[in-house]
């Protein structure tokens, strides 16, 4: 076989990527586990070849036994090129080591960037030693992750971008059923986990400030996570019951309808290596408000007068409220122009681009460049 690619588990965007890749390359897909409790993905795997190492939830697996299975699979398959998902999981490290043992060239897949979290020098030194010692090639999300990986030891000429793509054709087809030409709802939409790094509390405080200052849009929160009950309590304590709704988890088909109808999508994260929900939102034509900490900002946001959204400058309440006011004060025609711009930007981040990038990396690795 030519190449092996692995992820923890295959969600909708993984399936779209690997389907495109397998149409173009001789590549086998592997996943550590059949599903994750953290995510509730519902996706068809028809026509995609995936090796699953355990049918258990990833969270319930023995990480040592899983690492042994990873090593055994690599020794059995003996790929010439291995695409490794990051460097933080034991399974990923073992995948890289096993790949080296069988003589494979290694490609590091990463969306990390220097801004996405606090960086400590001793950890960064060890990380750079590992990256330089194990990998020669890299697949990254965009500008920020490319710079960071270069700092860790893989120069940009041996990198390719387009790691972070979603099923643009599929989403566009679903969105076509919902867009009727009617004005968008006067509503901000958040989609994501209720977790500290997503800054949902900050979003609620900013929204409360926006309402106190005369704003009349509502807020919809879609998702689940460890802070779900605390978020419900915060909504009540801030007096936002009548203007904020929590819908719980929604499958992709229903999310598309929400993206198509919202006045603007908002992602206020404190740390976010990329932000694939932004890809989804702009594919469906949503204007967007995105934290400057999100790695996707240089690629997915155009903040010019003819752009598709606004960057939230910092996590403070007033920054979120200011961005909300600016978005709400645009006319319907201006937001529709933003919608068209969003779709144009999204069209560049298709699964075919991911497939092209890894095909080029595999060819470079096999030639030993």
Q: Given this model, what pLDDT does residue 1 score?
A: 59
Contact residues for 228 (Cβ-Cβ < 8 A; gap 6+): 194, 246
Longest CA span, the chain: 64
State whether 131 and 219 are in the same domain: no
Six token digits for residue 228: 């779900």
What DSSP designation does 238 have?
A: T
What DSSP designation does 220 have?
A: E
Helix/strand/coil for 300 = helix
Are 66 and 91 in contact by the 8 Å Cβ rule? The answer is yes
State whether 199 and 141 are in the same domain: no
- Residue 237 belongs to domain spanning: 168-346
State whether 64 and 126 are in the same domain: yes
The DSSP bridge partners found for residue 137 are 107
Q: Which of 164, 120, 168 is nearest to 144 (CA)?
A: 164
State whether 308 and 356 are in the same domain: no
Whole-angstrom CA distances from 277 to 97, 210, 336 are 32, 23, 20
- Report how many domains make up the chain: 2
Half-sphere exposure of 289 (CA within 13 A, CB side): 29
Burial class from Cβ neighbours inside 10 Å (0-12, 13-18, 19+) for residue 240 reads middle
Contact residues for 229 (Cβ-Cβ < 8 A; gap 6+): none
What is the tally of helices (H) and strands (E) in the chain? 14, 13
Q: pTM of the entire structure?
A: 0.94
State whether 318 and 235 are in the same domain: yes
Six token digits for residue 340: 């068209």
State whether 339 and 208 are in the same domain: yes
- Each of the 369 residues of the chain gets a pLDDT tens digit; together they read 599 999 999 999 999 999 999 999 999 999 999 998 878 777 888 889 999 999 999 999 999 999 999 999 999 999 999 999 999 899 999 999 999 999 999 999 999 998 887 889 999 999 999 999 999 999 999 999 999 999 999 999 999 999 999 999 999 999 988 766 678 899 999 999 999 999 999 999 999 999 999 999 999 999 999 999 999 999 999 999 999 999 998 988 999 999 999 999 999 999 999 999 999 999 999 999 999 999 999 999 999 999 999 999 987 899 999 999 999 999 999 999 999 999 999 999 999 999 999 999 999 999 987
State whether 46 and 106 are in the same domain: yes
Are 268 and 312 in contact by the 8 Å Cβ rule? The answer is yes
Kindly report the CATH number assigned to the domain that includes residue 222.
3.40.50.2000
Cα 175 to the chain's mean position, in Å? 20
Q: What are phi and psi of 364, to 5 degrees?
A: -60, -45
**CA-CA distance, 96 to 107, in Å (whole number)?**
9
State whether 228 and 340 are in the same domain: yes
State whether 263 and 341 are in the same domain: yes
Q: Given this model, what pLDDT does residue 182 score?
A: 74
Question: What sections of 32-165 are H helices per DSSP?
Answer: 63-77, 90-101, 121-134, 143-152
State whether 156 and 235 are in the same domain: no
Helix/strand/coil for 45 = coil
Q: Given this model, what pLDDT does residue 170 score?
A: 94
Q: Given this model, what pLDDT does residue 221 score?
A: 98
State whether 126 and 11 are in the same domain: yes
Residue-wise burial string across 24-49, b where 16 or more C-beta atoms lie within 10 A, e elsewhere: ebebbbbbbbebbebeebebeeeebe
State whether 57 and 74 are in the same domain: yes
């Amino acid at each position: 076989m030519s190449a092996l690619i692995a992820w923890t588990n295959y969600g909708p965007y993984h399936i779209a990527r690997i389907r495109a890749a397998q149409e173009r390359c001789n590549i086998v897909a592997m996943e550590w586990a059949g599903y994750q409790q953290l995510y509730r993905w519902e996706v068809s795997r028809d026509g995609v070849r995936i090796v699953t190492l355990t049918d258990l939830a990833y969270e319930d697996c023995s990480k040592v036994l899983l690492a042994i299975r990873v090593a055994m699979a690599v020794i059995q398959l003996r790929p010439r090129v291995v695409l490794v998902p990051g460097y933080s999981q034991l399974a990923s490290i073992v995948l890289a080591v096993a790949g080296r043992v069988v003589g494979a060239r290694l490609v590091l897949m990463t969306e990390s960037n220097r801004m996405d979290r606090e960086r400590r020098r001793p950890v960064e030194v060890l990380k750079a030693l590992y990256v330089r010692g194990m990998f020669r090639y890299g697949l990254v999300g965009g500008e920020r992750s490319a710079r960071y990986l270069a700092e860790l030891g893989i120069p940009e000429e041996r990198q390719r971008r387009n790691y972070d793509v979603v099923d643009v054709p599929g989403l566009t087809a679903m969105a076509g059923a919902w867009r009727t030409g009617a004005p968008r709802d006067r509503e901000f939409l958040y989609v994501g986990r209720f977790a500290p790094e997503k800054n949902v509390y900050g979003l609620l405080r900013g929204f409360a400030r926006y309402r106190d200052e005369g704003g009349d849009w509502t807020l919809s929160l879609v998702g689940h996570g460890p802070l779900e009950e605390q978020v419900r309590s915060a909504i009540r304590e801030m007096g936002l019951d009548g203007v904020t709704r929590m819908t719980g988890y929604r499958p992709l088909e229903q999310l598309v309808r929400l993206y198509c109808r919202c006045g603007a999508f908002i992602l206020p994260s404190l740390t976010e290596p990329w932000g694939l929900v932004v890809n989804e939102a702009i594919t469906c034509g949503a204007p967007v408000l995105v934290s400057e900490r999100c790695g996707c900002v240089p690629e997915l946001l155009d903040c010019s007068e003819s752009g598709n959204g606004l960057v939230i400058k910092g996590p403070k309440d007033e920054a979120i409220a200011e961005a909300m006011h600016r978005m709400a004060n645009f006319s319907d025609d201006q937001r529709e122009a933003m919608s068209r711009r969003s779709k144009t930007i999204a069209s560049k981040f298709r699964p075919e681009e991911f497939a092209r990038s890894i095909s080029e990396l595999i060819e470079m690795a096999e030639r030993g460049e």
